């Protein structure tokens, strides 16, 4: 491997001061992680006791008898009492009333005091989830996990902070709760609070993420990053973002080269004047860099990271679950002999569940920062589930994850199916498989089945077109949804179905903020409409039962990521269409035969009539 020398023999400087600083703060946190990971059950008890002790005098703590739970004298008793007195929060809606009290200025509801901020994401209803983030969680959990994460970069590539850092994060502030508390992206806040010695290596300020037009935002991000040939770290959660950024770079390559050469930012894009003014400090004419990019374009015919960033040390994104399909589309654009590609880890808006520390896709859990519970995959549909502790997980088995945090999430269902892939000093490591329970997420949109149902019903009201049955399927390969409808009016044609789907798409964007974001940023394509034949569901179920499903156990979601079921719908459509065409052909042929028979009979009758007249 050649981790820091490019094809021209240029090398990166060794960032001694940054590395020492990261070793001190990140190295110490890594040692703590190793220590607490050796005895995960003991650590789980300690963490749960600490969370409950901190919040015992809050409204939620009093309602759910935290004092009584804390009287337990053993770990087994503590876990049992916690399960007894604290209900499972299967969705955010059961916690929403408590969070809304905080949002309106009340203190000591889910935790002492008020949150520092809220992180927003889509929920099961039209109202987004407002995930509270306490000062303790941001500083002592999220912050210290970040120290481990950045120190981990240095362990794999010692000169990674000798160049520039290209990262895309959410907006730090998207608005304010009724009491004035900000809401936005936790990642934006963390970037805001990064020490200046590291922040100066970022290719773009956080304000770029406030550009409303996604094409303009992506162009600006690539314009600011591509002016540097020494980009060493590219970190972004979803690989679909990388695809979109590379698409913009390919589409506007001449404009990018011109802007880099002249130190400008194209006026063809809608970018607020205040942001343009701020970005002036980040841009200056770079004719030599522009000429280098022109030579690459002339020799290769396109601009790819392996060519315009020859010193790229690290790429960090999600690689598990649905995201692999996006990764496969840009795998040839990088030089993997130089660039270390690391799974970002199990990170969600609700909490930073864990992240990868090596070259596998396994996320290391932090049992001293979160209290985890797990339900085996085979029990997900059962009314009475067995909740397992972190030390009870088995290698290769799959579970649904539940978490209790320092930010007021208690026994919260993450709705994620995970699989145990190994162990870190005695604590299981996990990787993401998929969403569960009627949630689909290809690019992070987290689309819920009730939201899809609501959007279709709203489209029915707006258009006057009624459906008998509908179902939606996620197509990861094409990064879009396929919506199938059986309409009450069987004379509905494809053009009308397409128009109906456009209305459904608009309604989904209004209902789900994550879906809207992914559609506007082109990470999700326009949904495709399909017209089902009559009695589509009955035909589908009959086909499934014929394949061996038990009638009493047959279950069906109206929103799925399931290629087998989608293909079955398509097959039924094709077979039924062929059958109908065949039937129409048979009937048409029979009608023609019958008509010919009638004509022959009429001719015979005419001949007999003429013969009778002749005999007379």
The pLDDT confidence band at residue 610, using thresholds 50, 70 and 90, is low
- Which of 99-103, 194-198, 290-294 shows the lowest per-residue confidence on average (mean pLDDT)? 194-198
> What pLDDT, on the 0 to 100 scale, is given for residue 225?
98
E strands, 436-588, where?
439-440, 447-448, 467-475, 480-487, 528-531, 559-560
At residue 124, the pLDDT reads 60
Contact 528, 483 (CB under 8 A): yes
Residue 417 counted as domain residue: no
Domain membership of residue 183 as a residue range:
16-376+385-412
What is residue 435's predicted lDDT score, i.e. its pLDDT?
A: 77
Is residue 277 scored above 90 in pLDDT? yes
224 and 346, same domain (yes or no): yes
Provide DSSP, 549-576: --GGG----SEE--HHHHHHHHHHHHHH
Residues 276 and 266: their CA atoms lie apart, in Å, by: 10
Residue 337 lies in a domain: yes
pTM: 0.77
Residue 584, pLDDT score: 46
User: Between residues 589 and 248, which one has the greater pLDDT?
Assistant: 248
Confidence at residue 456, expressed as pLDDT on a 0 to 100 scale: 94
Q: Quick one: pLDDT at residue 597?
A: 65
Mean pLDDT throughout 424-437?
Answer: 89
For the chain, give the mean pLDDT.
88
In terms of domains, do 316 and 360 share one? yes
b/e sequence 31-58, b meaning 16+ C-beta within 10 Å:
eebeebbebbbebbbbbbbebbebbbeb
**89-144 pLDDT, tens per residue?**
998 999 999 999 999 999 999 999 999 999 987 666 667 889 999 999 999 999 99
Q: Does the pLDDT value for residue 546 go beyond 80? A: no
Of residues 486 and 240, the one with the higher pLDDT is: 486
Q: Say whether 400 sits in a helix, a strand or coil.
A: strand
| Shared-domain flag, residues 346 and 398 | yes
pLDDT at 542 exceeding the cut of 90? no
Nearest-5° angle of CA 122, CA 125, CA 129?
40
**Residue (of 123, 41, 116) closest to 76 by Cα position:** 41
Q: Would you say residue 24 has pLDDT above 60?
A: yes
Which of the four pLDDT bands, split at 50, 70 and 90, describes residue 553?
Answer: very low
Residues 444 and 407 in one domain: no
Position 552 scores a pLDDT of: 38
Whole-number pLDDT of residue 600 = 66
- Interval 257-279 mean pLDDT: 96
What percent of the chain clears pLDDT 70, i.e. is strictly above it? 87
Domain assignment present for 429: no
pLDDT score recorded for residue 3: 52
Q: In whole angstroms, give the CA distance from residue 91 to residue 234.
A: 33
Counting the structural domains of the chain, the total is 2
Asked if the model's pLDDT at residue 530 lies above 80, the reply is yes
Residues 320 and 463 in one domain: no
Do 444 and 364 fall within a single domain?
A: no
Q: Are residues 296 and 164 in the same domain?
A: yes
What is the sign, positive or negative, of the torsion defined by CA atoms of 40, 46, 50, 53? positive
- Mark whether 398 and 469 lie in a shared domain: no
What pLDDT sits at residue 337? 92
């Amino acid at each position: 491997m050649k981790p820091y020398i490019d094809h021209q023999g240029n090398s990166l400087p060794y960032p001694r001061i940054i590395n020492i600083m990261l070793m001190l703060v990140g190295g110490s946190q890594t040692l703590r992680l190793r220590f607490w990971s050796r005895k995960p059950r003991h650590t789980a008890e300690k963490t749960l006791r600490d969370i409950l002790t901190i919040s015992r005098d809050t409204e939620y703590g009093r309602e759910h008898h935290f004092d009584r739970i804390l009287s337990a004298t053993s770990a087994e008793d503590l876990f049992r009492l916690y399960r007894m007195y604290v209900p499972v929060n299967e969705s955010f809606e059961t916690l929403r009333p408590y969070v809304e009290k905080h949002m309106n200025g009340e203190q000591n509801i889910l935790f002492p005091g008020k949150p520092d901020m809220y992180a927003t994401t889509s929920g099961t209803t039209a109202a987004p989830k407002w995930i509270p983030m306490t000062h303790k969680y941001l500083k002592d959990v999220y912050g210290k996990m970040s120290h481990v994460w950045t120190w981990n970069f240095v362990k794999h590539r010692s000169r990674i902070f000798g160049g520039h850092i290209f990262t895309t994060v959410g907006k730090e502030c998207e608005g304010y709760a009724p009491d004035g508390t900000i809401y936005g992206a936790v990642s934006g806040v963390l970037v805001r609070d990064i020490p200046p010695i590291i922040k100066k290596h970022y290719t773009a300020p956080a304000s770029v993420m406030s550009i409303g037009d996604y094409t303009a935002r992506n162009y600006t991000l690539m314009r600011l990053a591509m002016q540097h040939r020494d980009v060493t770290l590219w970190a972004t959660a979803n690989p679909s973002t990388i695809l979109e950024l590379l698409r913009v770079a390919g589409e506007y390559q001449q404009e990018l080269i011109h802007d880099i050469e002249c130190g400008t930012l194209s006026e063809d894009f809608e970018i607020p004047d205040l942001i343009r003014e701020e970005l002036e400090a980040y841009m200056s004419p770079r004719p030599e860099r522009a000429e280098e990019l022109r030579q690459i374009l002339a020799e290769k015919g396109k601009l790819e990271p392996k060519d315009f960033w020859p010193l790229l040390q690290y790429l960090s994104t999600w690689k598990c679950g649905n995201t692999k399909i996006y990764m496969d589309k840009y795998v040839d654009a990088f030089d993997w002999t130089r660039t270390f590609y690391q799974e970002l880890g199990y990170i969600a808006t609700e909490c930073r569940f864990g992240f990868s520390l090596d070259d596998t896709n396994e996320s290391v859990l932090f049992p001293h920062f979160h209290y985890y519970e797990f339900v085996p995959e085979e029990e997900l549909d059962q009314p009475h589930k067995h909740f397992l502790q972190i030390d009870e997980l088995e290698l290769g088995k799959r579970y649904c994850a539940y978490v209790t945090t320092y930010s007021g999430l208690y026994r919260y269902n993450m709705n994620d199916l995970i699989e145990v892939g190994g162990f870190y000093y005695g604590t299981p490591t996990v990787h993401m498989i998929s969403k569960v329970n009627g949630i689909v997420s290809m690019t992070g949109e987290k689309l819920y089945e009730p939201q899809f149902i609501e959007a279709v019903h709203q489209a029915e009201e707006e258009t006057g077109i009624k459906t008998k049955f509908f179902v939606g399927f996620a197509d990861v390969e094409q990064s879009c949804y396929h919506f199938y409808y059986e309409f009450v009016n069987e004379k509905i044609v494809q053009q009308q179905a397409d128009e109906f789907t456009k209305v459904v798409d608009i309604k989904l964007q209004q209902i789900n903020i994550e879906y809207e974001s992914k559609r506007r940023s082109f990470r999700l394509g326009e949904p495709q409409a399909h017209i089902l034949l009559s009695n589509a569901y009955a035909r589908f179920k009959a086909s499934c039962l014929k394949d061996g499903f038990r009638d009493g156990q047959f279950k069906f979601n109206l929103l799925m990521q399931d290629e087998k079921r989608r293909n079955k719908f398509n097959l039924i459509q094709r077979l039924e269409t062929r059958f109908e065409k065949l039937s129409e052909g048979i009937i048409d042929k029979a009608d023609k035969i019958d008509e010919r028979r009638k004509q022959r009979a009429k001719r015979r009758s005419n001949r007999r009539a003429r013969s009778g007249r002749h005999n007379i």
